[in-house]
């Protein structure tokens, strides 16, 4: 099965470099990014689209759904919950440590990275049981980091900060 993961288009908290758990929609740039990606993938056929239930991912999925595929919304691919970091600048944490699989640092009430990756891995294990040829996943940067770990293993240093997708970037995996 071919699995294509896309990160949603830009949202306000991306533009101002802060943590956020609010369910916000795409910015004008985010919509333009999704429209540009739609043109790049217009000839690709997907059996189904699976999206995070957050508005930014749903809106991106709707824009990309040029063949009117069924869209399923799955809580298992919600972004990592940043807890009480929400609304704070990214600089309040050591970003390398925040995205280090082996860290022993707990930043406030944010979701533990190992538990977060475990949630995404369960999603992928469940997806393996389906009989799809090609699936489009619309989710988040953190989800794309967990996908990287699932398909490529955990890097020796455990660092995932720079292994996530940019807004409306797409990556293909074989499941």
Catalytically annotated residues: 8, 79
- Measured between alpha carbons, how far is 52 from 76 in angstroms, rounded to an integer? 8
Integer angstrom CA distances of residue 175 from 25, 27, 154, 162, 170: 30, 32, 17, 23, 16
| Number of neighbours of residue 139 by Cβ within 10 angstroms | 29
> What DSSP state is assigned to residue 93?
S
- Measured between alpha carbons, how far is 90 from 167 in angstroms, rounded to an integer? 17
Of 170, 124, 130, nearest to 149 (Cα)? 124
Beta bridge partners of 172: 4
> What DSSP state is assigned to residue 159?
B
| Number of neighbours of residue 75 by Cβ within 10 angstroms | 10
């Amino acid at each position: 099965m071919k699995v294509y993961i896309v990160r949603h288009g830009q949202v306000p908290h991306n533009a101002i470099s802060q943590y956020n758990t609010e369910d916000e929609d795409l910015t004008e740039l985010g919509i333009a990014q999704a429209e540009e990606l739609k043109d790049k993938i217009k000839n690709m056929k997907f059996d189904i689209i699976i999206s995070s239930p957050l508005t930014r991912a749903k809106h991106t999925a709707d824009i990309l759904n040029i063949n009117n595929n069924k869209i399923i919304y799955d809580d298992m691919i919600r972004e990592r919950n940043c807890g009480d970091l929400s609304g704070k600048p990214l600089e309040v944490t050591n970003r390398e440590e925040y995205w280090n699989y082996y860290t022993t640092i707990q930043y406030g009430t944010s979701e533990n990275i190992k538990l977060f990756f475990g949630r995404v891995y369960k999603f992928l294990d469940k997806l393996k049981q389906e009989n799809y040829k090609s699936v489009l996943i619309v989710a988040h940067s953190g989800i794309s980091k967990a996908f990287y770990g699932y398909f490529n293993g955990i890097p020796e240093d455990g660092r995932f900060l720079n292994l996530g997708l940019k807004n409306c970037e797409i990556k293909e995996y074989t499941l």
